[in-house]
Amino acid sequence: MGLPVLSAIFRSRVVCERGIVALLNCPKHTKARVSLFSHSAGRCAQTCQALIYRKHGDPSGVVELEDVPVHQTGAKEVLVKLLASPINPSDINMIQGTYSILPDLPAVGGNEGVAQVLEVGSQVKSLKAGDWVIPRDAGLGTWRTEAVLAEDDVISVPNDIPLLSAATLGVNPCTAIRMLSDFEDLKPGDSVIQNAANSGVGQAVIQIAAARGINTINVIRDRPDFTQLSDRLKAIGASHVIKEESLRRPEMKELFKTCSKPKLALNGVGGKSATELLRHLQVGGSMVTYGGMSKQPVTVPVSALIFKDVKVRGFWVTQWKKDHSHGKAMLDELCSLIQQGKLTAPACTEVRIQDYKKALDAAMQPFSSRKQILIM
């Protein structure tokens, strides 16, 4: 194919709005890392598809699938093809404008996913074409088909692990393993209690705990398919699965005849559910809050503080990664569990990026126990 023909093809895909110069997906008050719009001399910008929101609000009303430019790969950059990206609660909260960090607008949605390297810049040392990579941190905008990213903004993962495991590796499993490792010295035979046990974090907690010989008491809301969900959680390693209402009933005493009182409680709900978790902690145990799906405050009884000396902590994986050089050793441990078959992706529904409205709607439904994965 001659150069005139190639030039014509490139020109046909150029976005000519020179007034739009920086569609950035990096949180406010942090250094800008990724620009989707570039006007570098010597090569016209090719386009990719991206899910963009230009204002905050209901995702179904503000997110649109658009063509955006992909600029020339720089010396310390890589061109990647996004393969799969989940829709997480934090992604929804960012679009709604309620999350603690927000990207500048307009922005590309998505903070997690897996991509394949297509091209590397002349000074890139750690990556090569064909490698699989995931974002080191939030803010890259993963709901798009291609991107040019800085080498330092991604981290390689094995390309022999399942696609959905790689796509969902960077947030929920990292949160789970850190909470199981950093707050109490848990030994085989110890117990952990958690609410939101069917969430992505909850399912990762079950599996990592099981691999370490730790019992899990898993609390979920009552629902029509409770038995099926309970069976599914037990199949991945849950020791006990109970309804929220059971936390306040005498049957808990029976449970603790065969299972030690938990040293650690993991709270992703808040409100009354969190208070009930506290009631069952060992003396001196810890409750770690990582989410608040009920949007209700955590209430700590005075008696729990005085007579049980419980510790009430919080955890945010984004901050942990910033404080610990993004956790390569942690990712290696998680990938090893995946390769051994001890850690699988949560129940997922794969949706083409073109059908994003269906995926967003499903992700916001109550009692959903399946993660929506955008396939690019």
In 87-234, which ranges are E strands?
A: 107-108, 114-120, 132-135, 146-150, 154-157, 191-194, 215-220
Alpha-carbon distances, residue 306 vs 259, 264, 283, 285 (angstroms):
25, 18, 10, 13
Alpha-carbon distances, residue 32 vs 25, 29, 35, 149 (angstroms):
8, 9, 8, 12
* Interatomic CA distance for residues 373 and 376, integer angstroms: 10
* Interatomic CA distance for residues 169 and 70, integer angstroms: 26
Token pair, residue 327, equals 């956790």
Which residue in 53, 99, 290, 356 is the catalytic one?
99
Q: At 367, is the secondary structure helix, strand, or coil?
A: coil
- Residue that the structure tokens 């949007």 belong to: 295
Token pair, residue 96, equals 């709604």
- Residue that the structure tokens 């529904």 belong to: 349
99 is annotated as an active-site residue: yes
Q: At 271, is the secondary structure helix, strand, or coil?
A: helix
Residues in the chain: 376
Per the CB < 8 A criterion, the answer to whether 153 and 69 are in contact is: no
Work out the burial of residue 195: count CB atoms within 10 Å of its CB; fewer than 13 is exposed, 13-18 middle, 19 or more buried.
buried
Sign of CA dihedral 170, 172, 175, 178: negative
CB atoms within 10 A of CB 39: 12
**Which residues are part of the catalytic machinery?**
99
